[in-house]
């Protein structure tokens, strides 16, 4: 959705699956106020809902996703030295909802932030397939088996930076609305 306002608005969605419906509340408030979102960056749970929103699902559909996500739907137990759970079902769940999209296919520009498990640094996915990047961003190290993309192993984006403000600013956002599901705070302007 292209905006008519002079300043580009970005939305940074943090991780925190138990509180993910809060993201829906923010999206609903923005829609009701007529404030378009030009860019979205997501981490973990924020990447799941951000991907659905940026793929073009309406808010009722995104809300339904937030309410549907449960361990039985997205995880399966595994015997691995890297984790006890695989999120391969999460990838299938996402593809079933929005298709096997690439970042270029999305209606609203979107990036996913995960953690590079070799360096411990945030890694921003902005090209290629969306679903594996989202799964990587949700893979809690030591519990969920990491995701390998282009020969590198990635885990939960919240480990390195749970609120991807820098990522959405790098996309071109002049104003960023950060939704941190763990720490209510007011960040400085600028």
Exactly one of 44, 47, 137, 160 is catalytic; name it. 44
Partners of 45 in the β-ladder: none
- Quick one: angle between helices 59-68 and 21-32, nearest 10? 170
Query: Cα–Cα distance between 92 and 177 in angstroms, integer?
Result: 30
Exactly one of 137, 156, 160, 180 is catalytic; name it. 156
The DSSP H or E segment spanning 132 is helix 130-138
Q: Is 44 a catalytic residue?
A: yes
Rg of the Cα trace of the chain?
15
Count CB atoms within 10 A of the CB of residue 143.
13
Active site members: 44, 156
């Amino acid at each position: 959705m292209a905006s008519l306002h002079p300043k580009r608005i970005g939305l940074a969605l943090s991780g925190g699956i138990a509180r993910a419906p809060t993201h829906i509340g923010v999206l609903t408030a923005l829609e009701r106020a007529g404030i378009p979102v030009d860019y979205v960056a997501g981490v973990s749970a924020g990447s799941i809902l951000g991907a659905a929103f940026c793929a073009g699902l309406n808010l009722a559909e995104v809300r339904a996703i937030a309410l549907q996500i449960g361990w039985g739907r997205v995880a399966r137990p595994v015997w691995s030295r890297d984790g006890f759970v695989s999120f391969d079902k999460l990838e299938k769940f996402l593809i079933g909802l929005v298709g096997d999209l690439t970042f270029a296919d999305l209606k609203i520009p979107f990036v996913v932030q995960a953690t590079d498990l070799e360096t411990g640094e945030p890694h921003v996915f902005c090209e290629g397939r969306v679903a594996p990047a989202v799964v990587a961003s949700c893979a809690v190290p030591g519990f969920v088996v990491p995701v390998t993309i282009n020969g590198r192993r990635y885990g939960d984006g919240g480990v390195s930076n749970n609120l991807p403000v820098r990522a959405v600013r790098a996309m071109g956002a002049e104003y960023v609305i950060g939704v941190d599901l763990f720490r209510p705070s007011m960040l400085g302007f600028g």
